[in-house]
Amino acid sequence: MAGTSARTLALFAAIIALFVVVGGLLGDYLFGSFLGGLVVALGFSLVLNVASYFFCDRFVLWTSRAKIVTPAEAPRLAKIVDELAPRFGLVKPRLAIIPTQTPNAFATGRNAEHAVVAATEGILRQLDDRQLRGVLAHELAHIKDRDILLMTFAATLAGAISFAAQMVLFSAIFGGTGNSRGANPIAILIAAITAPIAAMLIQLAISRSRESRADEVGARTIGDPNSLADALEKLEASNKARPMPFGSPASSSLYIVNPFRGGGLSRLFSTHPPTAERIRKLRAMAQDYSYRPSVRSPSFGGSAARATRT
């Protein structure tokens, strides 16, 4: 987990450095002030992303057609979440059901007190209790690590870089050469074109890092990495065969696997690590555990792998 955290910190440092350099250069070009561009770009992006942060759960639930349900309406989902939430030090999140047979799940909400765990009808139908437990542990790990907050921060910086770049492009096209006497217009234009792409790639890399960490935290917390690995094998095949018929691709990073499929360079711009790589890491993690049959559990109606460290 330390390696994943260090990688995330390095990526955040990279996007902050990119913002400072590009925002400063473009601010100098447009306003003759290094700080001017930083303040304007960050302020504009901050307003948009603060609103997104506070209303992200409503937006995602609306676009995914998810319906908030009571434990009585989704007893199987509620039973597993109720059992797992204390293990992650969390209050019980709200539950939602997504009306599609595409098997998937996500967690959203700005903090643990406003969290929602959503599951599709398809994932409840296709996964057994042990596999569903692995998936829900992954989603609770996202809530525990406040990944919505981290990704909002990354989106704020990436948005600020893109906004600053658009400002200089519009200025170059419609408003002349800018205010800075020492700036090279060609170099500034190259930065304006390439910086948003670089920022987006870093933002996507942060998303992939958080997915890897959620895999690891969830699997270690329940002591059964193979439960998630088995689930991911089913989810990857099913989501390729039956992509999500509705919803916003902008929310793809929230789902446990990408439910919106594309071709070409889609892997380069993926919000998730390759599923085969995630499964390989989970299988390797499972080698650190020795398994013995557990006592039959009334909660899950069967034996499950319970891990103890070797």
Neighbours of 44 (CB within 10 A): 15
- Quick one: how many helices (H) and strands (E) in the chain? 9, 6
pLDDT at 297: 35
Tokens of 131: 């596999």
Candidates 73, 83, 113, 139; catalytic one: 139
Is-catalytic flag, 139? yes
Q: Sign of the C-alpha dihedral, residues 253, 255, 257, 258?
A: negative
pLDDT at 153: 72
- Point out the residues of the chain with pLDDT beneath 50: 291-310
Integer Cα distance of 253 and 211 in angstroms? 9
pLDDT at 17: 76
φ, ψ dihedrals at 172, nearest 5°: -65, -35
Place of tokens 């609306």: 62
Alpha-carbon distance values, 266 to 97, 143, 204, 272 (Å): 28, 27, 12, 11
Neighbours of 9 (CB within 10 A): 12
Q: Could you tell me how far CA 204 lies from the centroid of its own chain?
A: 9
106: Cβ contacts below 8 Å, ≥ 6 apart:
60, 64, 117, 118, 139, 251, 254, 255, 256
pLDDT at 262: 58
pLDDT at 302: 37
- Which helix (H) or strand (E) segment is 141 a member of? helix 129-144
Residue pLDDT, tens place only, 81-92: 999 999 999 999
Residue pLDDT, tens place only, 153-176: 777 677 777 777 777 777 666 655
Q: Which amino acid is at 104?
A: N
